[in-house]
Amino acid sequence: MPLTRIIEGVNQFHDNYFPSHQELFQQLSQGQSPEVLFIACSDSRIDPCLITQSPPGRLFVIRNVGNIIPTYGSASIAEAAAIEYAVQALGIKEIIVCGHSHCGAMRGLLQIGNLSETMPMVYSWLRMHGEATRRLIMDNYAHETPDRLLKTTIEQNVLTQIENLETYPVVRSRLHAGALSLHAWMYEIESGSVYAFNAAQRKFALLKQRSFPVPDPLIVTG
């Protein structure tokens, strides 16, 4: 049973991992000081801490369907509250938006009409907050093969969320002061590779020793 495996994992954590890291958890009980706000998809195949090999306390994480950040002032306030808290209260200086290969949300965005009856809430979420990406793709990349179209949609969606982040007053203020950096990443499940948007090349490039700055306008060409 799936729940049995989860409970076994809890027991293993309590019996094995926790005792050997008790000092860390004692420190964490006194407060948090994460280094990065990591925005990722809810997809079960994506684990920000695993991908970045980050211990507890290092990442402040927002996850939702499609790693989407609604623009400031929109109806969805959960993401807005988390962003405001991360930047204002925790003083985070790095924000990463990370999309991933084979994203079901982006596949749904490309066929959004099919969702209205079967998954009306998913339809509403994507229709409300994914239209900028969908329109850009349909107007500029509709000629591509299905696999390439999905990859381009995933990448462009990440760049759209970077633009959306800039509509938040606290983010815009910190960017202006040079106290905050935004990073656009794409994780490839099948290879384990992470790609970051390279401003000079105007495309996502393999992340090695560093990430790349993301200037405006945020449109990938080629």
Residue 3 counted as domain residue: no
Judge if pTM exceeds 0.85.
yes
- CA 4 to chain CA centroid, Å, is 30
pLDDT of residue 217: 39
Q: At what angle do helices 131-140 and 120-129 cross, to 10 degrees?
A: 70
Residue ranges in the chain modelled with pLDDT below 50: 215-222
pLDDT of residue 220: 38
Residue 78 counted as domain residue: yes
pLDDT of residue 218: 42
pLDDT of residue 208: 80
pLDDT of residue 200: 82
Domain carrying residue 134: 34-206
| Strand bridging mode 193-198 / 181-188 | antiparallel
pLDDT of residue 2: 87
Residue 80 counted as domain residue: yes
| Strand bridging mode 59-64 / 36-41 | parallel
Which amino acid, 12? Q
pLDDT of residue 222: 31
What's the total number of domains in the chain?
1
Q: What strands lie across the sheet with 36-41, from one edge to the other?
A: 59-64, 36-41, 94-100, 181-188, 193-198, 203-206
* CATH number of the domain where residue 147 is located: 3.40.1050.10
Could you give the CA distance from residue 222 to residue 140 in angstroms, rounded to a whole number? 11
Residue 13 counted as domain residue: no
H or E stretch at 80:
helix 78-84
Residue 102 counted as domain residue: yes
Residue 21 counted as domain residue: no
**Cis peptide, bond prior to residue 146, ω within 30 of zero:** no
Q: Which residues lie across from 95 on neighbouring strands?
A: 37, 182
Residue 171 counted as domain residue: yes
Residue 193 counted as domain residue: yes
Q: Where are the beta strands (DSSP E) in the chain?
A: 36-41, 59-64, 94-100, 181-188, 193-198, 203-206
- CA 218 to chain CA centroid, Å, is 16
